[in-house]
Amino acid sequence: MSKVVRQSEILLPHNVDFGKWAVIACDQFTSQLDYWKKLELFVGNNPSTLNITYPEIYLNDNMEKRVNKINKTMQEYLDNDLFDKYNSFILVERIVDGGKKRLSLVVSVDLEAYDWNRVNTQIRASEDTILERLPVRLKIRKNAPIELPHIILLIDDEKKDIVEKLYKNRKNLQKLYDFELNMGGGHLKGWKVDNCEEIIDKFEGLLNKELQIAKYGQDAKIMFAVGDGNHSMATAKQHWNNLKEKLTEEEKINHPARFCLVEVLNIYDDGLNFEPIHRVVSKYDDKFLEDFAKIMKGESKITIITTEKDIKLPCPSSSSQTIKLVQEFIEDRLKKGLVEVDYIHDEHHTRKVVADTNGIGIIMPEFSREELFDYVVNVGNLPKKAFSIGTAENKKYYMEAKKIK
């Protein structure tokens, strides 16, 4: 089988204001229109990833027109030679909360090594994939000539032998960018990494059978767990599945849509925080709180926010069990049309959304990052939106791009 990590051509714009080019992932601040309006004013008419991505807050707003405009702008950027091309990897330093450094590596991965089902593939989903969420994303991707990923893949590299070692030698690398992110996103630096084959071999070394057994009690054959962008990864996979049906075997080998651009982050990275993703329900029926209280049992407590007061309810001491219990209750209500739900980062944002929408907020427990790989291998997928890599402002910003046509 071909190697999972791939050296592909990465696109970065030149002669642009990077501070206006890079914007936060499209699935953030989905209940806070003021964030996006302020960002739009800041970006103005400048080249920006805001013009070639689809903020999910606008999913119900002239979708076809927006998608067509996004694809047209992508092609204009390509036709106008906006991008420099780098046949390399890119090492990234992101300054996040409290001045912490979060280190990552931008690479391409083979979508043939990924499956969102619970099977022994090298790239595993970490949460349940809701297939109903894919058609909208597929529509956006179908005619797009380039991708701008917000997918973060996690590796279990306790020795810090891949990303961190590159960072120690960053003085020997060509710096590509160094700037302040907009909207309180922190600071971003990037370096060109040329010794790709050596790094690819290190990634392959994570699949060593003895190493896997020592870590997980079995030869799990896992290299990556999806840390962020589970549904973006699933969309890329389904798009590739649809596309390859029309290709010859020879065309399938190196087609650009087969390889997805991702950001790789070590689960042991000093700047990595797993943050809970809270729920805000709206348009709920009169029995929502009563029925929710009936199913919540356990030795710990969970906080419910209403516009009038906070309520403490019992919950399991295991964070994964609590997340599962809450999400199953909400999904059941959703299927019956008894509620709408939004997923909000940070408690202060959650309280604001509750106040603005007259909703009910559920403050979720934190899932430990040290548990993730063992959980994915030996238990299965977490419920959707079980954790977030960092707070809302510190989520992935679009920066690099890659051709997929």
Predicted model pTM = 0.89
Q: Give me 319's structure tokens.
A: 């964070």
Q: Is the pLDDT of residue 307 over 60?
A: yes
**pLDDT tens by residue, 104-114:** 999 999 999 99
Q: In this predicted model, what pLDDT tens digit does every residue of 279-291 receive, in sequence order?
A: 999 999 989 999 9
Closest CA to 316 of 243, 261, 365: 365
Place of tokens 């959707």: 384
What is the distance between the alpha carbons of residues 185 and 392, in angstroms, rounded to a whole number? 9
Alpha helices (runs of H) in 245-343, residue ranges in sequence order: 249-254, 288-295, 319-335
Q: How far apart are CA 107 and CA 257, in angstroms?
A: 14
Average pLDDT value for residue range 130-135: 81
- Give residue limits of the domains in the chain: 5-273+391-403, 277-365
The radius of gyration of the chain from alpha carbons, rounded to an integer in Å, stands at 21
pLDDT at 232: 92
- Kindly state the greatest CA–CA separation across the chain: 63
Does 273 or 34 have the greater pLDDT score?
Answer: 34
Mean pLDDT of 389-394: 85
Model confidence at 129, in pLDDT bands (50, 70, 90)? confident
Average pLDDT on 166-186 reads 97
* Dihedral, CA of residue 353, residue 337, residue 229 and residue 110, to nearest 10: -170
Contact 176, 12 (CB under 8 A): yes
**At 208, is the secondary structure helix, strand, or coil?**
coil
- Say how many C-beta atoms besides its own lie within 10 A of residue 104's C-beta: 26
Average the pLDDT over 111-120 and give the result. 89
pLDDT band at 389 (very low <50, low <70, confident <90, very high): confident
Model confidence pLDDT, tens digit, residues 138-156? 998 999 999 998 899 999 9
Helix (H, G, I), strand (E, B) or coil at 281: strand
Give the CA distances from residue 43 to residues 18, 19, 28, in Å, rounded to whole numbers and listed in that order.
10, 9, 17
Please give the mean pLDDT across all residues of the chain: 94
- 303: enclosing H helix or E strand: strand 300-305
- Whether 1 shows a pLDDT value over 60: the answer reads no
Q: Measured between alpha carbons, how far is 225 from 116 in angstroms, rounded to an integer?
A: 11
Closest C-alpha to 6, from 224, 234, 173: 224
pLDDT of residue 118: 78
pLDDT recorded at residue 62: 87
